[in-house]
Amino acid sequence: MSGGENPPQVSPPPSGRTPESGDLRARERQEGWAVPIDAVDAFTLGAAIAVAPDKIEQELTALWRKAAERAQSTDARFTVTRACLWNFIIHSNGEEEFFFTKRLIDEMSESVPARILSLYETSEAEKSDASVVGDDGSPLRASVEANFRRSGTGRREVLAEEITLEAPHIEANRLSGLVRSLLLADVPTALFVRNPATQYGWLPRLAPEADRFIFDSRKLGSGATLQCTYNNLQKLYRSQPAGGRPVVEIADLGWVRLWPWRILLAGLFDPPQATQALRQLDSIEIHHSAGEEPAALLMAGWLLERLGLGPVSQSAPGVWSLKPEGEVAQKPAELRLVSEPAQERPVGIVGIASIELKSGEHVFSARGVADSRSISLGSPFQPERVQPVHGRPDSELMVAVMGVGGRDPLMYEALRLGAQLVGIQSTAGAGTGETSK
Amino acid sequence: MSGTDPKIDNPLREGLVGERQPDPCAMVIFGASGDLTKRKLVPALYTLARERLLPAGFAIVGMARREIPFADQMREAVDKYARRRPLDPGLWSSFGAGISYIAGNFDDPAAYERLKAHLAEIDAQRGTGGNRVFYISTPPESFEPILRNLGAAGLINQQPEGSGGPWTRVIIEKPFGTDLKSAEELNATCLKVLREDQIYRIDHYLGKETVQNILVFRFANGIFEPLWNHKYIDSVQLTVSEAIGIEGRGNYYDQSGTLRDMVQNHIFQFMCLMAMEPPVAFEAGSVHDEKVKVLRALRELPTDEIDSWAVRGQYGAGFEKGQPVPSYREEQGVRPDSRTETYIALKLFIDNFRWAGVPFYIRAGKRMPKRVSEIGITFKNVPHALFKGPTGAQLGREPNVLALRIQPDEGINLKFLSKVPGPTIEPRPVTMDFRYGSSFGTEPPEAYERLLLDCMLGDGTLFTRGDEVLQSWRFCTRILDAWAEGNAKATNPLPSYEAGSWGPAEADEMLTRDGRTWRKP
């Protein structure tokens, strides 16, 4: 098809994009499909337009031009401002992840206009009207759509584009070349892989294109997967010489979720007496809900890195001996990670229930408060206080990691030490540290 | 930042970029029963607490003449006016626990002794460490007794910050004087008990994100600063218009007028940020130095022909949003023969290398068509008209305009010419538009949040220094004196303008004489 010139060729609803599926923009999309509109109207309403994979750029150019023309008319209910701050490659494996992806992209685009390259790996081959059939018989489908936001006056502001490449069992050779050709020049590229513990065949080919690699440790589910993620990232990026190109920035949505815990915990140690107590730490105890072990390991990794403590051995499931390795901690200490069923204690918003640091007779604590999203802070040197912790949707976290929040070298150190704790645990043949209180 | 920073040694703080947290401290608000405390100050402090920007050791002490249930009133106020609502009961339990109140006359030394004892208790209970912010939010006549009594009660620590002891900072609300003489007197009073770096003269406009963005726009982008001078800029217009009238503040406003209320402080601050040279560092001293240089370079207006350079007006009856509104002289608290200006238009020149010959047109007023604050920068035209129409008429002679919008719809737009698609050459203006609200997707903080936090952090960059204030009064007082002389002789008529219009015709004529017109923001 040719953008806007031909009769309506709106793509059939891509699998799963129905109101029942919880798609945020289902209404607009449905509106786009329900009325007899042409491709340009459909584009400006956010509907997906099927295009031939080798004609994506041409189609987009035509669609943008036509959309801008129509935005000039007096009765236009939209404006057109094409903008792009990033190339954003996002991968979805299966329908469920794809729904999540669509929602994430729609919300995120309100704040960060980007060229979205959505790689949708379907679980099985479909008999479809695919635009192109590959040599190997696998259909590769492509569609384009506009992303927009509401302006202050309520008008739809069409501003960015989303390209979906859909195929069963994506093949790296074909896909990586196509994606590379679609990356816009002079803007950085972010690559979001929800679970990098999985060995995707295409990933090593596309990973070098990224300026920022983003994952979500909360989706990992276990310490073992966190360790696997760390190993894969090492292989993808850290074991390769930079070769003159900038080092890829690795960002984790889960790490950003831990920010309130970290800043509040740090605040407990501002008084000089508390800072001194930190140097004589006896123990760190982190309670987390089942399945949130990665968050607890990252938190532990951060504390170990900051305090200059190294894990030596595991004395019992979920209990590690630590030795001072830097200039801060002055004596050995103990780390305890305790997994609990979520319903027993409030777990805040990232699955951490409480963090307690003991130094002699002094106890410093941060605990999730029941029935409100708050953390209660206790210190012998400060008034007790309750601090609200606001849960942030994934789209906001994504916007944060695409800004300065995505450049935190401490994250990778915390990940390294978290993986190291799991490594010691594996070596000791212990369980996953799920001691129950 | 204060010199005694315990956080420096806290290893958990390192690497936590993006958030600044001040030292523990107590904030004493004089005039705590007033509207500002209720609507702005305490809601701003609550929001800072909610955003985890206040230290655990923090307390608010309200002080005013009459007994009031201060903590209860502040809870209501937070629930009503805070940027983040509704009030979080859990947070309030700890934030509210730090709120207390003392009733007392500002000129009664005994009240300050009670305050001193109360603050000592707070230090012991909440760990505020002797650090104090005194916020003077009272009518100007109370400034002097408050400062004098604070000093006499030993509540001001004059040791330099960084010497290891607790610190004292004082925030003073506007108006800082009503003319040069009163400002000099007030400044002298301040300096009897405080060092200059302890005085935070607040101008809430400087807390607005878009005002701060003027500096980022100019000094973080490479493409604009080379054009930012008389070689490329034809003229600059600064507009601060309000659709509302004086809103029941007749008694105050009739003594003040637009020159004192808007120009001497807010607009001159915009102008300084827009016109100043790059500071050697983004820190208070360097920024203030450059702002003062701009004010010192302002060409004095010829007082014998003041009306050609400073047009004033007073609104008559008219309509606001279709509703009839009274004239200024019919407003409550205004003298029926008042000659106080509700509108002013100024033509200024900054006599330095950068701005030689570039007029700065300033206007501010009430009961204008809409509420707008903006800086419009008109660039010089291309030297030669290359494009011509079928009749030989020159095409493409519209200048480029860069508009920095402070409020509302904060943002920046650039107007430039582009070819209309088609077989002929037809240049037409188009705009590139950046809007804060839609580009960052986050709600900017309230000006008071930023300024209160900066003061607690010891950062005076967004406050005004004594010499800045005096220099701007020096300039404005000459205009006020010339007007007063004219009033006495009744030689200069006071032009009137219809409410809901863009000001008196004389203001338009001032630009017409220069071959220019006011922007329609």
Q: Does A385 touch chain B (CB under 8 A)?
A: yes
The confidence band for B72, taking pLDDT boundaries of 50, 70 and 90, is very high
Q: Percent of chain A beyond pLDDT 90?
A: 31
Q: Out of A110, A269, A374, whose CB is closest to B90?
A: A374
Asked if B11 lies within 8 A of A384 by C-beta distance, the reply is: no
Which is more confident, B354 or A347? B354
Which pLDDT band, with edges at 50, 70 and 90, does A17 fall under?
A: very low
Q: Which of residues 436-455 of B touch A (CB under 8 A)?
A: 437-438, 440-442
Q: What pLDDT score does A166 carry?
A: 85
Specify the pTM. Answer: 0.76
* pLDDT value at residue A362: 96
Whether A5 shows a pLDDT value over 50: the answer reads no
Quick one: closest CA in B to A156, which residue?
Answer: B438
Tokens 């609300």 label which residue?
A: B173
User: Which residue of chain B is at minimal alpha-carbon distance from A403?
Assistant: B440
Helix (H, G, I), strand (E, B) or coil at B460: coil
Mean pLDDT, range B330-347, rounded to an integer: 92
Q: Testing the interface with B: which of A270, A278, A364, A412 to mutate, by most B Cβ within 10 A?
A: A270
Does the pLDDT value for residue A389 go beyond 50? Answer: yes
Between these two residues, A424 and B393, which has the higher pLDDT value? Answer: A424
Among A288-292, B64-68, B429-433, B485-489, top mean pLDDT goes to B64-68
The minimum CA-CA distance between A388 and chain B, rounded to whole Å, is 6
How distant is the Cα of A108 from the closest Cα of chain B, in angstroms? 10
Q: Is the pLDDT reported for residue A10 higher than 90?
A: no
**The tokens 């010499």 sit on which residue?**
B467
* pLDDT for res B521: 78
Q: Are A237 and A207 in contact (CB under 8 A)?
A: yes
pLDDT for res B491: 60
pLDDT at A132 over 50: no
Whole-number pLDDT of residue A425:
72
Whether residue B183 is predicted with pLDDT greater than 50 in this model: the reply is: yes
pLDDT at B168 over 70: yes
Q: pLDDT band at residue A285, thresholds of 50, 70 and 90?
A: very high
A65 reaches B (C-beta below 8 A)? no
C-alpha separations of A12 from A33, A158, A233 in Å: 8, 21, 37
Could you report the per-residue pLDDT of B5-18, keeping only the tens digit for each? 444 588 998 877 55
Q: Do A111 and B12 touch (CB under 8 A)?
A: no
All residues of chain B having their beta carbon less than 8 Å from the beta carbon of residue A395 are none
pLDDT in tens, A23-35: 434 444 444 444 4
- Is residue B427 within 8 Å of B415, Cβ to Cβ? no
B492 Cα to chain A: minimum distance (Å): 44
**A152 vs B98: CB contact, 8 Å cut-off?**
no
Q: For A245, phi and psi rounded to 5 degrees?
A: -90, 155
A125, amino acid identity: A
Which one has a higher pLDDT value, A358 or A202?
A: A358
- The mean of the pLDDT values for chain B is 89
User: Which of these is catalytic: B230, B266, B288, B384?
Assistant: B266
For chain A, the three-class secondary structure string (H helix, E strand, C coil) is: CCCCCCCCCECCCCCCCCHHHCCCCHHHHHHHHHCCCCHHHHHHCCCCEEECHHHHHHHHHHHHHHHHHHHCCCCCCEEECCCCCEEEEEEEECHHHHHHHHHHHHHHHCCCCEEEEEEEEECCCCCCCCCEECCCCCEEEEEEEEEEEECCCCCEEEEEEEEEEEEECCCHHHHHHHHHHHCCCCCCEEEECCCCCCCCCCHHHHHHHCCEEEECHHHCCCHHHHHHHHHHHHHHHHCCCCCCCCCCEEEEHHHHHCHHHHHHHHHCCCCHHHHHHHHCCCEEEEEEECCCHHHHHHHHHHHHHHHCEEEEEEEECCEEEEEECCCCCCCCEEEEEEEECCCCCCCCCCCEEEEEEEECCEEEEEEEECCCCEEEEECCCCCCEEEECCCCCHHHHHHHHCCHHHCCHHHHHHHHHHHHHHHHHHHCCCCCCCCCC
Residue B323 distance to chain A (closest CA, Å): 23
Smallest CA-to-CA distance from B106 within B117, B115, B98 is with B115
Q: Above 60 in pLDDT, residue A125? A: no
Percent over 70 (pLDDT), chain A: 78
ipTM over 0.85: no
User: B12–A278: do the CB atoms touch at under 8 Å?
Assistant: yes
Is B266 annotated in the active site? yes
A111 pLDDT more than 70 = yes
Q: Do B88 and A399 touch (CB under 8 A)?
A: no
Report CB contact under 8 Å: A404, B97.
no
Give the one of B18, B97, B127 whose C-beta lies nearest to A404's C-beta.
B18
Q: Which of A368-372, A407-411, B180-184, B381-385 has the lowest mean pLDDT?
A: A368-372
With cut-offs at 50, 70 and 90, classify the pLDDT of residue A358: very high
The pLDDT value given to residue B240: 94
For chain B, how far is it from start to end, CA to CA, in angstroms? 39
Cβ(B412)–Cβ(B5) below 8 Å? no
Q: Which residues of A touch B49 (CB under 8 A)?
A: 387
More confident: B456 or A36:
B456
Who contacts B188 (Cβ-Cβ below 8 Å, separation ≥6)? none
Best to test chain A binding among B10, B14, B17 (most A CBs inside 10 Å) = B10
Least confident of A427-436, B252-261, B356-365, B421-430: A427-436
pLDDT of residue A344: 55
Plot region of A46 (φ>0 → left; ψ -120 to 50 → alpha; else → beta): left
Per-residue pLDDT at B16: 77
A171: confidence class by pLDDT, cuts 50, 70, 90: low
Q: Taking CA atoms, what residue in B is nearest to A153?
A: B409
